[in-house]
Amino acid sequence: MKNRIDQRFEELGSQAAFVAYVCACDPNMEKSLEIIKGLADAGADIIELGVPFSDPLADGVVNQLAAERALKAGATTLKVLELLKKFRKTHQTPIVLFTYLNPVYTYGFEDFHKDFAEAGADGILLLDLPPDEAKKNEELTNQAGLKSITLIAPNSPDARIADLAAQSEGFIYALSRTGVTGAQAAPSASIGETVAKIKAHTQTPVCVGFGIGTAEQSSMVASVSDGVVVGSAIVQIVAENAHSEDVAAKVAAFAKPLIDAAKEVS
């Protein structure tokens, strides 16, 4: 069966994809399931599902606090697996796992990839695995059904961009700026140049994230890329409404204008 990520980009054609990030089990298991279903129903093309980790070094404070909330609510890797299985009973929206090496190795590298692929995950982004190291370790390149999503920073040298683009699959996550995750700074105005550099070396779709939190920003990024990634701005809505019974509806209501703005550009 064709990977859901590849299938979704084929279906979209020239239309930009909208990729929504949330932390699994934030603020708890039940509400998290409602949130990801709501985002899918609102039109998100791909959902990045963060696996809660106690030391998320690549994340800004908003996403760090999301992981903390999830862990306090009893989140474990097995519960994330259960969440994914429940989601797959009703939805086929592609899922990319957003995580670090530690939780994967604690679970068992090979078993993690096998179990999550069987449960319905489609890709994985390992934030603290340098591509150079992955090449040196065969076990780190055996994804067992999960597309390995490549991260490319705007300050990457041209030779490194070419190398990373050549080995990419699923989609490339291009950072709109340097730093940790967070909506505190707007996307760089030069992101179009970065996307063009990447696309010169690959046919893999290029999605842009970091700092996108308004419909206007979503539209701008969609106009120069194959997709828009919104994370911290969505997670902030979860944080503000964590104790509300209709948190999922509020998250979907926030995301919908950003999704629509991305879709209007082709």
d(CA 211, CA 230): 8
Point out the catalytic residue in the list 26, 45, 59, 226: 59
Active-site residue flag, 59:
yes
Point out the catalytic residue in the list 26, 48, 122, 226: 48
Active-site residue flag, 10:
no
78: exposed, middle or buried (Cβ count in 10 Å: 0-12, 13-18, 19+): exposed
What is the identity of the amino acid at 83? Answer: L
d(CA 225, CA 248): 28
Give me the active site residues, please.
48, 59
